[in-house]
Amino acid sequence: MAGYAKKKKKRQNRTAMLGIILVVCALLAVLGYQTVQLQKRSDEYSARLEAVQQELEAEKARTQELEEEKVYTQSKQYIEQEAKEKLGLVNPNEIILKPED
C-alpha cells in the first residue's frame, strides 16, 4: 500500500505542476495580448500627436501671417493703395493719363 500512496502522490504532484504550467501559459498569453494592444494604442497616440504638432505648426505660421498682415494694413503704403483702388484717389503730385477712346 505504501507503493500505491507514492504513485498517488507522484500523480498529484504531476497534476499540480501541469496545472501551474497551464496557469503560467495562460498568464503569458494574456500578457502578450495586452502588450500588443498597448503597442497599437501607443502607435495611434504617436500618429495623433504628430498630426496635432503639424497642425500647431500650421497655426503658428498662420498667426505669423496674420500679424504681418495686421502691420501692413496699418501702414501708409496700404492706406494709399486702398484709397487708389477703392476710392480712385491720387496723390497731389501724380499725373493721371487717361487712354483716348
Mean pLDDT over each residue of the chain, to the nearest integer? 89
98 found inside a domain: no
User: Span 34-38, mean pLDDT?
Assistant: 98
Residue 94 in any domain: the answer is no
pLDDT over threshold 90, residue 82: no
The pLDDT assigned to 1 comes to 54
Domains identified in the chain, total number: 1
In a domain, 58, yes or no: yes
pLDDT at 81: 86
| Range among 3-12, 33-42, 87-96 with highest mean pLDDT value | 33-42
Where in the sequence is the domain holding 21, given as residue range(s)?
2-87
Is residue 44, in this structure, part of any structural domain at all? yes
In a domain, 100, yes or no: no
Cβ atoms within 10 Å of 80's Cβ, excluding its own: 13
Q: Which residues contact 78 (CB under 8 A, 6 or more apart)?
A: 72
